[in-house]
Amino acid sequence: MHAASPHLSQNPSPDPDTAAAALDRVLMARSAPLTSGLSPISLSLAWQDWAQHLASQPGQALRLAALAQAGAVEWAGHCASGLCSDDETVQRDPRFASEDWRAWPWSGLAHAYKRSERWWDEAMRLDGLTRHHAEVVRTFAHQWLDLLSPSNLPFNPEVLRRTRETAGANLVQGAQHAFDDWRRDHGLAPLQPPEREFRPGIEVATTPGAVVMRNRLVELIQYAPTTATVQAEPVLIVPSWIMKYYILDLSPHNSMVRWLTEQGHTVFILSWKNPDAGDAQLGMDDYLRLGVFDSLARIAELVPGEPVHACGYCLGGTLLSIGAAALARPGQVAGAERMAPLASVSLLAAETDFSEPGELGVLIDEAQVQLLEAVMAERGFLSGRQMAGSFQFLHSRDLVWSTRMQEYLLGQRSQPSDLMAWNADVTRMPARMHGEYLRRCYLHNDLAEDRYPVEGRPVSLSDIRQPMFVVGTEKDHVSPWRSVYKVLRLTETALTFVLTSGGHNAGIVSEPGHPRRHYALLACGAEDPWMSPDDWQQAAPRHEGSWWTAWHDWLLAHGSGRQVPARTIAPEAALMPAPGAHVMVRYPD
């Protein structure tokens, strides 16, 4: 083999493939704002797939034409008879809940609008149309319908009545709200500040505790005991890194961690760093090692000899399941001997099988991930504003149009709440981690297919032998409960599944005493036969109240039952008081 020329080795010529790829990424990232961060390739492929299937199925085209004609005739008849307000779909839509929409001509407009929505849903029923493309077309069609809704008209009946009642004051107040929002979006203080702020460490995230470990990615918080004795096994909570951890420590009355300490548990929780450009190369392995594994090692030092009840929420639950599987396999992971063993695993609204993901799956395919990777490569992270924009796009009817009508046309601001304040406290995501997560979970479903690598070796959830407690929520659009339920098919251990009322956030933050809460619970043994989600729902007994109490009872049943003196936080272990420093950091996007 001939030695390489010193000149060539010191000054290698640029790789044309790398240069071309870099140019493509730059152009893609610069064009992203023109399409609001959405891939035009994904959208065009979906519309092309739908249009070509429609063109190749003249019978379906005739069916849709007949539906449109029948709908028009029905609408005309309803308008002539004055019965448009009797349409149940109109009455169930909160945009048309006001009695003002029952009068002519508004009732006819609302009825025609709902007929259009139903027609587009029928238009997706084409043989051969891929599920993903059907969801993309349906989503974008409904986006346009939401934009064109009669409820968004500046002269709709609610606005006209309100304007008459206030002599136009609502429009003046709405203009003020719009100006305040513009100032806030441009980094200026609003002229009318919110009536109440929810600031971490002051109004929210106030449960007493201390940071007992810090690395470049997380702070580990230990909470002070509130009972004379505590359960021997501590609880470790791994929250999602999208948004900040304190959704589980909101106001004192609905703080999960405060409630757990009051029940006699020693509680630890992770507070993820809000990453910046210097963290661009942090990957999923770093989140697993620095987040889950380092925390288990620190807990083993603080609470020696005791196993841990580990709990993960949303993406934190996905990460925890990966870590639990890695620790359960032969050979485990490097440094496992220093970590506290797991007594149980609890997953809250967390997906482990992404074959049927929630709403975000509509926006995730190969072209969209490539666009996101190009955008993130420019800055090293995905900004919180960009992530929030995706949710706003998917929920534009509620988060944009209905809100804007309420605030700008009716002049009524939504009352601030701790959950709304937390939802606005967005975080960033490192470019490498987010790309790996989207590809390995959403695109390739590696975890469910036993391909997800930890330290170079794939893990399998079937290796987990600890008992599991898994919670899904009835109205979850981020992690649909039937998708969460798939973990029963992937594991071979005793598992208790809970289906609770509410959505992805409000269903989990469901403290005892909260009105109109219920849940269904059914335990499945490791040897029990498989039950479909619908069969499980039929068999599971329903209970009124909060699922928190059932979880507490389950933790007691799957622990040693031993009580030990309350574990106070040693002064030398406390780096700073809770809620720590990471939760305070905000970066302008």
* Residues 459-482 pLDDT 10s: 999 999 999 999 999 999 889 999
pLDDT reported for residue 242: 87
CATH at residue 223: 3.40.50.1820
pLDDT reported for residue 506: 92
State the Cα–Cα distance between residues 586 and 583, nearest whole angstrom. 8
pLDDT reported for residue 102: 81
In a domain, 382, yes or no: no
pLDDT reported for residue 79: 72
Which residue range forms the structural domain that includes residue 294?
209-355+445-584
Which of 84, 314, 441, 524 is the catalytic position? 314
Can you list the residues of the chain whose pLDDT is less than 70? Answer: 1-17, 32-33, 35-36, 81-88, 187, 189, 193-196, 385-401, 587-589
Enter the tokens of residue 353: 């099988």
In a domain, 381, yes or no: no
Question: Shortest CA distance to 50 belongs to which of 118, 131, 114?
Answer: 131
User: For residues 560 and 233, is the Cβ–Cβ distance under 8 A?
Assistant: yes
In a domain, 271, yes or no: yes
* Residues 395-417 pLDDT 10s: 555 555 677 777 888 888 777 78
State the Cα–Cα distance between residues 555 and 14, nearest whole angstrom. 59
Query: What is the tally of structural domains in the chain?
Result: 1
Question: Shortest CA distance to 308 belongs to which of 229, 225, 232?
Answer: 232
In a domain, 286, yes or no: yes
pTM score, whole prediction:
0.88
Cα dist. 247→205, 357, 386 in Å? 8, 22, 20
Is 311 a residue of the active site?
no
pLDDT reported for residue 86: 57
Sign of the C-alpha dihedral computed for residues 347, 366, 446 and 522 taken in this order: positive
DSSP label at residue 60: H
State the Cα–Cα distance between residues 541 and 518, nearest whole angstrom. 11
In a domain, 390, yes or no: no
In a domain, 426, yes or no: no
Question: Shortest CA distance to 202 belongs to which of 509, 576, 579?
Answer: 579
State the Cα–Cα distance between residues 365 and 359, nearest whole angstrom. 13
pLDDT reported for residue 74: 80
pLDDT reported for residue 2: 38
User: For residues 504 and 473, is the Cβ–Cβ distance under 8 A?
Assistant: yes
Taking the CA atoms of the chain, what radius of gyration do you get in angstroms?
A: 27
In a domain, 320, yes or no: yes
State the Cα–Cα distance between residues 209 and 105, nearest whole angstrom. 60
In a domain, 118, yes or no: no
State the Cα–Cα distance between residues 517 and 543, nearest whole angstrom. 9
